[in-house]
Chains A and B, each alone.
Chain A
Amino acid sequence: MGDWSMTSPLGVSMENSEISSISRVTLSSSRQNHDSLYSSSLPLSKSSHNVLSAFCIEENVPQCILYINQELSSLGLASMCIATPVEATLNSVPALNAMYELLQAQRRSQRSLEALEQDLLRTSSTLEHLQTGNYRLKDQLELLKREKSGLHEKERQLQLKIETLQSCLKSEKEEIQKLQNIIAGRASQYSHDAKRKERECVKLKERLGQLLIDKRDKKLAIDVLNYLGRSDGKRIQWKTGKAGTSHEGDMYKSLLNDYEARQQSLMVENSELKKVLQQMKRDMMYILSPHKPCAKASPGDDSPERGFPPAGLEGQDEVGECSRENLDQSCEKAREQLTYSIRLQWRRLKNHMEKLDSQVSLAQTQQQSGSEEAVPREVHEEEMQRMRLEVQQGKDFIHTQQQLLQKQLNSSFDDETAALLNDCYTLEEKERLKEEWRLFEEQKGNFERERKNFTEAAIRLGHEKKTFEEDRAAWLKNQFLNLTPFVDRKKYSLSDSQSALSIRSEPELQQSYTPAKLTKSSTYNEFSTTYSSISDGLPSTTELYRTLHLIQPETRHSKRGSWQEPSSPIRAENLFGKSKCSVRCRDPCILSLDKDGDSPI
């Protein structure tokens, strides 16, 4: 800019000779212009205006034109057109064009200048912003530094304080120690003084008492109208050694009574506890027993009770008896046994519970894997209810059993075992009888079927007999008619019908069937009705058996005997547990026996 303002007057004074230098300067200026566009643009117009006022005058128009032309050409505009070199006159059209282009260029540069200015502004503002940020940060840093130093200072102070406090504490402790010593000293001093005072007091009291006695206090007296009898009506006794010993005796007696009472109460308590223990054991066993079979399968189990074969009630009773025995012996050994058995049971219970737990968890996992196959809750609850009921029943059962056992406790051991065995047998018996009953039912069905067969066969036989009778009648008629002159005619027709039967067979049949029928009706009520309905026209059962090849005559007879008096042998067999009457028991009396077998349990 400076160059430009300086060069332009220079150029004016030097005039055309200097143009080349001027052009160079302007070139350089233009180059400068390009370098720093925004700085030169405004002064350019100003200076150009200034120059213009002095730049072109009447005399130097051609130089000016030339100069302008040169300038324009240097600027790359159509300089040639401005002026004709020859005349050096201004060609207006290209000049105007050049002017227009110049204006355009100027406007463009103006616009860019504005943009640049805005840019500048923006950058300056960002710069400012950054600067303020920087300041702020610096401030912050300063502050923090100060804070840090403050904290350091505080820490130091605290450290100091701690030190002082520690020393203080130490001194306080010492003080306390000292004070404690002082207190202890004072306490001992006090107690010593108190003792001294007390002694003095005692001395004084004694002195006082002595003085009072010496004075022979007249006032000290009792004035009673007449002496009273003792409240217990006895006379007053002299104090003797005997009385002393009797007092001792009384004292010990009362003490002894107290101890006895206490022992009694303890014993009662103990027995109660034992009862509870036993109850618990029973319950435990009851809980365990249904699972015994599966428990037996587990190899880790080695409890002795498992060894009992049926593992049911029998085993329980065994253990209960054992524990009762234990209770009866009141010595160390019994206690050991008791604790041992309890521990055993407990361990078993624990194992069982663990097993159950694992089962439950297994079931749960299975259930989870089995995609919501879960049983509805109601069913669960129902089941639970049912089980609870069962447990209750079981408990009641155990209770009654216990009561019975308790009742029997007084009686001798042998009786007990006998009773126990009896109970066991009856239970076993019950089971067996049930089995038998089932068999009987089956048998009954078989018999029913057979009977049906018999009746059918009987009917068939009846029919056959009828036909035979008819045949016989016909044959007799034929025989009779044979005597008549028209025999020949009838004989032919009859001969083929009687072929199966002979005359001899008929009376034989009749003989065997009548007595058999009689015995039957006395024993077989059901059968007799059918016979009566079919009446004479039917054959006997024996007949039927024989014809059907069902039985031999001997076996049938023995059976009939046992049917007629079934109660005695069966009962006996029942009692000894060797019942073989499974096939025969069909009589109601056996049923009643079965019920009898129920009752003692």
Chain B
Amino acid sequence: MNFSEIFKQSNQLCRISPDGRYLATCVQYRLVVRDVNSLQILHLYTCLDQIVHMEWSSDSLFILCAMYKRGLVQVWSLEQPDWHCKIDEGSIGLVSSRWSPDGRHILNTTEFHLRVTVWSLCTKAVSYIKYPKACQKGIDFSRDGSYMALAERRDCKDYVSVFVCEDWHLLRHFETETQDLAGLEWSPNGCVLAVWDSCLEYKVLLYSLDGRLLSSFSAYEWSLGIKSLAWSPSSQFLAIGSFDEKVRILNHITWKKITEFEHPATICSPKTVRLHIITRNVCPTDEISQPPFQIPVVKPDLDRANPKVGVSSLAFSADGRYLATKNDNMASVVWVWNMQKMSLEAVLEQTAAVRCFQWDPRRPRLALCTGTPRLYLWSPAGSVSVQVPSEGGFQVHALSWHSNGDSLVLIGKEHLCLCYMDTEDKSTDSNIWTK
């Protein structure tokens, strides 16, 4: 494994372009675009204020930089460095800005969620979408970029509008059977829309693209409900993480629960489970211990709002064979489940709370970081932890994979560095992975 030198960044804004050729980072007012391989600066743009949000367009030709305080969005072109575009939302304010999937429209959500403004970069056209709902995930584009689902709130009722992204034609508009809609997400094949209620009620509704209610699922009543939700890449499974520290898996045919994964504090049963304790900073590798073993649990303060309990993050591996979960009251542990056997595959215990974990987009390989100067990797063959070489103690707070899975951007508080997996060197590879 190799590491690049360390670069500066601010607001943890660094993104690799969708085509995998460029790395854009923001340093205060400036936007720096580098070549991923050589790390040479290709372009340098200066914005009007400190950049709060930055996003690549889907065709990797434009970069959007948003300055929410000023209500400004600036767009830069890679092909024509002198091309510029500035969108001013004026006094109405700006809280969120994003690209539409075609990379030619920008959707700005104004303050108080008054409306969503759709700016076209092709024409002067501006469209408004009223009544967007302020919630966990109010807008979602289907994977192929043809449809957009938007959560709305009118007359104290929740609605979902489905737009055709091509010309922002309203395709469907339907009321949902939710008390307080918290989010919506398209299935990867773009045919099913999962809508879930706020944490006060455990309820998942599944709508077809044409607005028919396919099914609804509720595991229990009264106590706090859904915390996170994830589709498997094949759209076959829907994983729902909830406050009761369980993940429930629904199937795509009957939309019934297939199984549920518990996150017990003591793991005692199967031999297949391997606990990877990546603890002592001294040793570079991990320890594998046999069950039974105890997992450190932090007792959550249930009196406070949003208690630190329950499954908050879920991620399927790219091939859909593994599911990684994190239970908030066991913050230092990542659980990896085998979706073929529907069983626990590994428990990755770290010394510090896990900040971020992400699957390799090509291989079943999980990268995680804990806010320490170490990078942890897990694959079915084994796990490994690597110290990030740096003088000032580079602490990894977040990470994101390159789309080809060969490199990884490690993001610290104000710095970043790239980590290259050695794919050609098979010998070292096998050394690393067969443990």
Contact = CB atoms under 8 A, between A and B. Distances in A.
Contact of B86 (A194, A218, A222): A222
Interface size class of B (residues with CB under 8 A): 35 or more
B115 interface: yes
Nearest to A198: B156
A559 to B, nearest CB: 72
Given A208-B112, A231-B102, A239-B169, A255 B209 contact: yes
A224 B102 CA distance: 18
A223 B171 CA distance: 30
B86 A254 contact: no
B88 A244 contact: no
A442 interface: no
A236 B153 contact: no
A258 B102 contact: no
B135 to A, nearest CB: 13
A239 B125 CA distance: 12
Contacts of B85: 222-225
A524 to B, nearest CB: 74
Given A209-B115, A217-B91, A224-B85, A255 B210 contact: yes
A221 B210 contact: no
Given A195-B156, A255-B209, A205 B114 contact: yes
Contacts of A228: 104, 121-122
Interface in B105-154: 112-115, 119, 121-124, 126, 131, 146-147, 153-154
B361 to A, nearest CB: 22
A513 to B, nearest CB: 89
B298 interface: no
Nearest to A259: B191
Given A231-B102, A239-B169, A243-B167, A220 B210 contact: no
Contacts of B102: 230-232
Given A222-B119, A227-B123, A230-B102, A208 B114 contact: yes
B91 A236 contact: no
Interface string B151-184: 0011110000000101101010000000000000
Interface string B193-213: 000000000000000111000
A237 B209 contact: no
A222 B171 contact: no
B259 interface: no
Nearest to A261: B189
Contacts of B71: 219
A220 B114 contact: no
Contact of B104 (A209, A222, A230): A230
Contacts of A217: 90-92
B381 interface: no
Interface residues of A, number: 42
A226 B84 CA distance: 8
Contacts of B90: 212, 217-221
Nearest to A204: B112
A248 interface: yes
A251 B122 contact: no
A223 B167 contact: no
B14 to A, nearest CB: 24
Contacts of A202: 131, 154
Most B Cβ at <10 Å: residue of A195, A217, A228, A262: A228
Chain A CB within 10 A, most for which of B84, B90, B103, B115: B90
Contacts of A255: 191, 208-210
A252 interface: yes
Q: Which of A212, A231, A247, A262 has the most CB of B within 10 A?
A: A231
B122 A227 contact: yes
A212 B92 contact: yes
B49 interface: no
B219 interface: no
A309 interface: no
Contacts of A230: 102, 104, 122
Contacts of B164: 247, 250-251
Nearest to B164: A247
B88 A219 contact: yes
A215 to B, nearest CB: 8
Nearest to A252: B210
Nearest to B234: A265
Interface in B340-356: none
Given A229-B122, A236-B122, A243-B167, A258 B103 contact: no
Nearest to A239: B167
Contacts of A224: 84-86, 121
Given A230-B104, A231-B102, A255-B208, A209 B156 contact: no
A236 B123 contact: yes
B39 interface: no
Given A221-B88, A228-B104, A231-B103, A247 B171 contact: yes
Given A222-B124, A225-B83, A243 B88 contact: no
Interface string B207-237: 0111000000000000000000000000000
A218 B209 CA distance: 39
A227 B121 contact: yes
B87 interface: yes
B83 to A, nearest CB: 5
Interface string B78-99: 0000111111111110000000
Given A224-B121, A230-B122, A231-B104, 8 more contacts: A194-B156, A205-B112, A209-B92, A223-B85, A223-B86, A254-B190, A254-B191, A255-B191
- Return the 6 tightest CB-CB contacts between A and B, nearest first: A220-B90, A219-B90, A217-B90, A258-B191, A195-B156, A224-B85
24 contacts: A194-B156, A199-B156, A208-B92, A209-B115, A212-B91, A218-B90, A220-B88, A221-B87, A222-B85, A222-B86, A222-B88, A225-B85, A226-B83, A227-B123, A228-B122, A232-B102, A236-B123, A237-B167, A247-B171, A248-B171, A250-B146, A252-B210, A254-B209, A258-B191
Interface of A: 194-195, 198-199, 202, 205, 208-209, 212, 215, 217-232, 236-237, 239, 243-244, 247-248, 250-252, 254-255, 258, 261-262, 266
